[in-house]
Amino acid sequence: MKTASKLLSMLLLVAMCLSLMGGSAYALSLEPASGDLALGLPEASSTFDLNLGGSAVVPEGSTTLELEKPGTFNGTKNIWNGLYPDLNTAAQSTTDIKLHDDADSSVSDPGGTISRNVTIDLNGKTLTLTAPLAVNANITIMSSKAGAQLVNTSLITVGKGFKVTFTGVGTDGSVSGEGESAETKEYIATIGSEKFTSLEKAIEYAAKQSGTVTITVIDDASKLADYAIPAMPATMSCDAIVLNLGKNCLAGSLPLEAKVPLTINGGMIDGDINANSNVTLNSTEVTGGIVVPGKTLTVNSSKIAVVGLYGGTLVMGSGSEIGSLQLADTGAQNILKVSGGKIKGFTCEGGSAYRAITGGEWYVNDPDSLEYLKNCVADGLTLKGTENPYTVGSGAGTGSGGSGVVTGDFTVYGSPYTKGSGNTVYVLMPYTSSTGNYYWTSVSNPGYSDIKTIPSSCGVSTSGSQYKLTLTNSFLDGLSSGTIYLWTGHDGKYTYMGSLTVNGSGTIVEPGDVALWPVDSNEWYSGDGMLAFYYRPAIDFSDPAKKGLWIDGWLQDPTNWITNNNNGLLKIGTAILNNLSRGWHTVSVNTVDGVASCQFYVGATLRPVDTDKHVTGSSKNLQFVCSDPIQSVWVGGRQLTDVDYGDYWTLSSSRKTVTLTAKFLNNRTAGETYTIGVVTDNGDKPSCTFKILTTAQASSSPKTGDESNLALWAAVLILSGGAAVAVLPRLKKHEN
């Protein structure tokens, strides 16, 4: 019985629902069923408000509704939402209120009354109140675009218990009435957890920090579209600044007063950049020009209208474009490390050329610039084509002559040279040219009148796969003491080969005097072996206090250097050299006739971060840290290019840490040892090695930092633990 009652109740409930649904459908029907159904319109009226921003019209003799279109924007008639003529009318609607996009940049409003909570968007325009505006609600007056202003703010009267909040809107005073008002700050940039209301404040904060500081601009193109870029502080404590623009456009020039590297990611600079420091652009557009006096500009997937290179370096790959590249004759060396991209206009007024171009599409403006460009192409490549655009490749080049057959890789050996010593000084070169094409100057940035020809008696010979220019003793002894600069070239275009220090006064030093000089080179980089020197006369070993070796006045551990007194040869070990700072140092020994000293240079260092081994097939990357910012990376004699970037290798934002990806490492030969080398911003070339381990090698000897064989590590730990447990009872017994 109870079951039947429940079933009957359910059936009655369903029937009621169906009845209600049918009634609702009938009530909503706009087609009368019998002629006696009316829409309930007031008498003498054919319209009713549907609250749709318009009205419904029932034409006489018709039963079909037609909706009028909402009021369209017309001049300044309906400036609010394109529907309402003033704030008072707009406040009677149910939506937020916004000045129309097509309204004038400066508009007026007679005010009125606002009695509902609402947001009013000034949309980047100036609003002038011409009469009081009574506010009896909590409202927010804001702007979705920069530059909004509210004039005659005092005409706003806020009722008791209510509040007006201003966000991103400039005001000319305070509101009146018994209510409250407040201002919400608009943050446009962040540095970590710190927030800043202007880019200028963010840069000032960054200048006081250490290391690399990243400024991230809020990713809203409306925020900074009209923002003028401030000047960088003249003094900065940080090492580098990274500016993440996102989709923002910064209007104005960017003067970089401090010599701090700047990296810009994304966005647009609607102005100029004066690069007193190294600048890197990643997916950034610069509508103006960038001046690079002696600094490095790196362009990755970016677009620049004009680049002026004045003894600076341009690094550019595929996906980038320069509207006009201009090289001026400052006497300093311009370096074009261009491997791809498009240069839509190339002009050169002179200067020395570094042979480094390996690609790109070139549009040359005049014949002289074309000849200069030929001499900038890297060794083994030529400039190809007979008209714009020119390209770079192997095989026969543009026109005749030796275009593109030289490179800027030169090394000077035997510096410093002491007059009368008879020591050998030479320059290793990647090519040879005819006699008379070698020059020297006493200044580093010479004019044409400073160039002097190296005598033909300084001959050229081969040294392995390179050529060697040997500077004769008679030529060197006739020079004034100081630094001389060596050049090669022709037709007024000179390539810098390196410098040489000449010691000694006008009187020739006699061969029997005390001396200490490098065997091959006075430069050392991480990855090199021991650094060797000759000395004369013999070291005084009779006095224990004198038989040591000093560097910069500090006595060195005798286990870290060796000497052969019979042939006057000493070698400094890497244990000493690895701990010296980059720069020039003085090495001294006590000979039987007095102290002999000379200088040597320690270049940048490159070392593994945690391990120098990779197990083939594993997902582990290898990282190497350099003491100086990195320009290019080489592995096994091959330069890693922009095409490989991200997939095979990456650089940190400071450009000091290079990461070789697991994908790259797994393509190397298992069991082999590879050399990774880098070229730094100042031209140093440190290197170190890493090894690709086979699975068997990794299993036999797990190393610290190698996480690719966790099972073996676990086994080692278990065995270690077992050994400890076994030993504990013995220790305890012994203690008792």
Report pLDDT digits (tens) over 8-49. 455 445 444 444 444 433 333 333 333 333 333 333 333 333
My answer on whether 625 and 581 are in the same domain is no
pLDDT band at 552 (very low <50, low <70, confident <90, very high): confident
SS3 at position 9:
helix
Tokens of 242: 């990274």
Q: What percent of the chain has pLDDT over 90?
A: 20
My answer on whether 209 and 331 are in the same domain is yes
Residue with more model confidence, 248 or 648:
648
pLDDT band at 597 (very low <50, low <70, confident <90, very high): confident
Residue with more model confidence, 361 or 393:
361
**Residue 272 domain-assigned?**
yes
Residue with more model confidence, 165 or 567:
165
User: Would you state the pLDDT for residue 185?
Assistant: 64
Q: How far apart are CA 582 and CA 597, in angstroms?
A: 19
My answer on whether 583 and 642 are in the same domain is no
Q: How far apart are CA 652 and CA 280, in angstroms?
A: 12
**Residue 4 domain-assigned?**
no
My answer on whether 196 and 332 are in the same domain is yes
Among residues 509, 538, 572, the one where a domain terminates is: 509
**Residue 361 domain-assigned?**
no
Q: What's the pTM? A: 0.41
Question: Residue 523 — φ and ψ, nearest 5°?
Answer: -120, 145
Q: Is 475 exposed, middle or buried (0-12, 13-18, 19+ CB in 10 A)?
A: middle
My answer on whether 330 and 241 are in the same domain is yes
Give the least confident one: 165-169, 228-232, 498-502.
Answer: 228-232
Q: Is the pLDDT of residue 670 over 70?
A: yes
pLDDT band at 231 (very low <50, low <70, confident <90, very high): low
User: Would you state the pLDDT for residue 255?
Assistant: 64
Residue type, 162: F
User: Would you state the pLDDT for residue 155?
Assistant: 93
Sheet holding 425-429, edge to edge: 411-413, 425-429, 466-471, 460-463
My answer on whether 471 and 615 are in the same domain is no
In terms of residue numbers, what domain contains 630?
606-706
pLDDT band at 735 (very low <50, low <70, confident <90, very high): very low
Give the least confident one: 237-246, 296-305, 524-533, 727-736.
Answer: 727-736
- pLDDT per residue over 476-492, tens digit each? 877 888 888 888 765 45
Can you spell out the DSSP letters for 94-122?
A: SS-EEB-TTS-SEEEE--EEE-S-EEEE-
Q: Is the pLDDT of residue 139 over 90?
A: yes
Average pLDDT on 529-549 reads 80
Decide if 332 contacts 359 (C-beta within 8 A).
no
My answer on whether 666 and 694 are in the same domain is yes
- To 5 degrees, how large is the angle CA 542–CA 543–CA 545? 150
User: Would you state the pLDDT for residue 431?
Assistant: 62
Q: Is the pLDDT of residue 525 over 90?
A: no
pLDDT band at 361 (very low <50, low <70, confident <90, very high): very high
Average pLDDT on 205-229 reads 73
My answer on whether 337 and 461 are in the same domain is no
Q: Is the pLDDT of residue 301 over 60?
A: yes
My answer on whether 493 and 543 are in the same domain is no
User: Would you state the pLDDT for residue 329?
Assistant: 58
Among residues 509, 543, 565, the one where a domain terminates is: 509
My answer on whether 486 and 624 are in the same domain is no
My answer on whether 218 and 147 are in the same domain is no
Residue with more model confidence, 24 or 158:
158
Average pLDDT on 672-684 reads 86
What residues contact residue 437 under an 8 Å CB cut-off, 6+ apart?
488, 489, 490
**Residue 58 domain-assigned?**
yes
- pLDDT per residue over 63-90, tens digit each? 333 333 344 444 457 889 888 999 999 9
**Residue 366 domain-assigned?**
no
My answer on whether 442 and 569 are in the same domain is no
Q: Is the pLDDT of residue 701 over 60?
A: no
Residue with more model confidence, 700 or 556:
556
Q: What percent of the chain has pLDDT over 70?
A: 73
pLDDT band at 449 (very low <50, low <70, confident <90, very high): low
Q: What CATH number should be reported for the domain holding residue 702? A: 2.60.40.10
Give the least confident one: 249-253, 570-574, 619-623, 630-634.
Answer: 249-253
User: Would you state the pLDDT for residue 76?
Assistant: 52
Q: How high is the mean pLDDT of the chain?
A: 75
Tokens of 348: 């050169």
Q: Is the pLDDT of residue 152 over 80?
A: yes
Among residues 477, 509, 541, the one where a domain terminates is: 509
Residue with more model confidence, 704 or 541:
541
Tokens of 733: 């017994």
Decide if 284 contacts 245 (C-beta within 8 A).
yes
User: Would you state the pLDDT for residue 650?
Assistant: 93
Q: How far apart are CA 504 and CA 479, in angstroms?
A: 10
**Residue 285 domain-assigned?**
yes
| Closest to 18 measured CA to CA, from 6, 29, 8, 10 | 10
**Residue 242 domain-assigned?**
yes
**Residue 14 domain-assigned?**
no
Query: How many distinct structural domains can be found in the chain?
Result: 6
